[in-house]
Structure 1
Amino acid sequence: DRAKDMLIRGGENIYCVEVENVLYDHPAIMDAAIVGVPHRTLGEEPAAVVTLKPGAEVTEQELRAHVAEHLAAFKVPIAVKFWHETLPRNANGKILKNELKKLFEEPADA
């Protein structure tokens, strides 16, 4: 199932695990997930949800720069959201990415 965990951004394949592994390499990151955010012309763009280690501090810009140092520009998350608890998982320990995608949805007009 992890091999299928992929986004397609403007015809380029982005394997979520590749970007997640770079985020895990950052000393402040305890947990990380990449989700696809819909884009009108590119299809999807990567976005990250991360949990920091206790006492750690890092900004969205620092994390995006960290990924940019290690991966191609099209793989850098367009946004990073900070989750203040363990990322939601199912009984098998798999991160519930559909729950995390909701963080990036635009609110419906009232």
Structure 2
Amino acid sequence: MRITIQGADKLARKLREKSQTDFIAVSQKNARDIYARSQRAGGTPVGETAQLRLSAKYQGDEVGYGVHYAPHVEYGHRLVNGGYVPGQYFLKQNVDTQRPIYKQDLLEKIRE
């Protein structure tokens, strides 16, 4: 005896599309959250011009900083006179703060 389910392939395809759409929506929401946090006090180091904070951008599910010196502030850098300025890890801290929120958002979408 053989049982055939009509439309199973179509249903599977629609479920995959919905899952992908949900994943993208959650990723984009969390990128917006990271960006928004970068614009608040303490989210991004602010020097005399606030150029670093102003260079923060997000597009889709990507967040980053546009100024050339952003990695040096994030990770630290050497000085010409031989000294060292330690990194501030502002982006890492922001991502670490968002990580449990992202996980919770994904779990909620899976439950829907």
Q: TM-score, structure 1 length as denominator?
A: 0.30
* Higher strand fraction (1 or 2): 1
Q: 1 or 2, which has the higher helix percentage?
A: 2
